[in-house]
Structure formats: C-alpha cells, structure tokens
Structure 1
C-alpha cells in the first residue's frame, strides 16, 4: 500500500493526525490531534456529567429507573448555550478528522512525487 493511502487510512480509522506522524509531519499532526482531542474531551465530559446527574436522580428516588424517563432526561439536559458548545465541539472534531484525512493524503502524494522526481 502506498504512503498517501496508508496515511489517509490511519487518519480516518485511528485518530486525526496519525497519518501526519507516519509522514513525519509532526507539527500538523499535533495540531490536528490536539483539536480533535479537545472536541472529543468536551463531548465525553458533558456526556459523563449528564449521566452522573441522571444517576443521582435515580438513586435519590426523584425519577424512576425506566428507559423512557431516562431517554427524556438525556434529550432534555442540553439546552441553550450548552447545546451550542456541544455542537461546536462536535464540529471541531469532525472538521479536524476530515482535514486530517485529506491533508495526510495530500502530503503523502507530494512526498511520493518528490521521491519519483529524484529517481
């Protein structure tokens, strides 16, 4: 498998920026991985926070342990500015992932062309 495809697949299926590390482009790799990690961290932190709040309500007897009630609480927990922050975090994660795939393929092709030109 050629380097551009391998780099793009690593960025697609492992984590954004991994393909850049394969291509020895560490700074773009760190930037992409950092942006994706920040978005992912925020999404996971908010999910865990919501789950803990619902768990506390169940344990205190405030709500019943039933799927419909829990589902309703989960969908109603995010509102207003918090919902916008979650949308931004998701957008950052997705954009960094897509840029990581496309850019690692582009950089890999450029490196292959340079190798072919020097031969």
Structure 2
C-alpha cells in the first residue's frame, strides 16, 4: 500500500489529521485534529443544550411524551437560532475532513514521487 493511499484512508476513515501524522507532518496533523476536536465540542455542546431544554419541557408536562412532537420540536430548535450553533461547526467539520483527505493525498503523493525519483537515480 502506498503512503498516499494509507494517509488518505487514515484521514478519511479514522480522524482528520491522522494521515498527516503517518506522513511525518505533525504540525498539519495537529492543526487539523485540533480544529476537528473544537468543532465536535461545539456540536456536542449545542446538542446537549437542546436535549436539556426538551427534557425540562417534557418533565414539566409542557410537551407530551410523543415521539412525533419531540422530533418536531427538535426540528424547530435546529431551524431557529440553535440551528446556526450546529450548522457552522458542522460545515467546518466537513471542510476539515475534506481538506485532511486531499492534503494527506497531496503530501503522500509528493513524498512517493520524490522517493521514486531518488531510487531511480541510484
């Protein structure tokens, strides 16, 4: 398996930035992993806030314990002001993931190309 393919698979299937670590590029890997971790934190914080609000409404009896009504309330929360709290980190997370895959392929390909030319010279 080539370096670029291994790095792409690690970045795509495991976590953004892991492919960079396998290519000996820890700075880029740390930046991508750090941004991804921050995005996941903000996503989880928003989801937990929405869940706590709904749980309080259910406990107080304001919202009946009905799956359809609860899912409608979640949709309304996400369409309202909380939607932006979820959509921006989600978009940034997807961008980091795509950048990680493309960049790890680019670095692995250039390292493989450099290794091929140096082995042909000797």
**TM-score, structure 2 as length reference:** 0.90
Q: Deviations along 1:12-54, whole A, 9 cap, x unmatched?
A: 0111000000001000101111111111211111111111111
Structure 2 runs not aligned, ≥5 long: none
**TM-score, structure 1 as length reference:** 0.93
Task: Check if 1:83 corresponds to 2:83.
Answer: yes
Q: How many residue pairs end up in the alignment? A: 118
8-17 or 85-94, larger mean C-alpha shift: 85-94
| Aligned-residue CA RMSD (Å) | 1.2
| Misfit runs of 4+, over 2 Å | 82-86
**Residue of structure 2 equivalent to 1:13:** 13
Cα distance in 1 for residues equivalent to 2:71 and 2:83 = 17
Q: Answer whether contact 2:46 2:85 (CA < 8 A) is retained.
A: no
**Residue of structure 2 equivalent to 1:51:** 51
Structure 1 runs not aligned, ≥5 long: none
Cα distance in 2 for residues equivalent to 1:83 and 1:64 = 23
Cα distance in 2 for residues equivalent to 1:45 and 1:114 = 44
Q: Answer whether contact 2:43 2:85 (CA < 8 A) is retained.
A: no
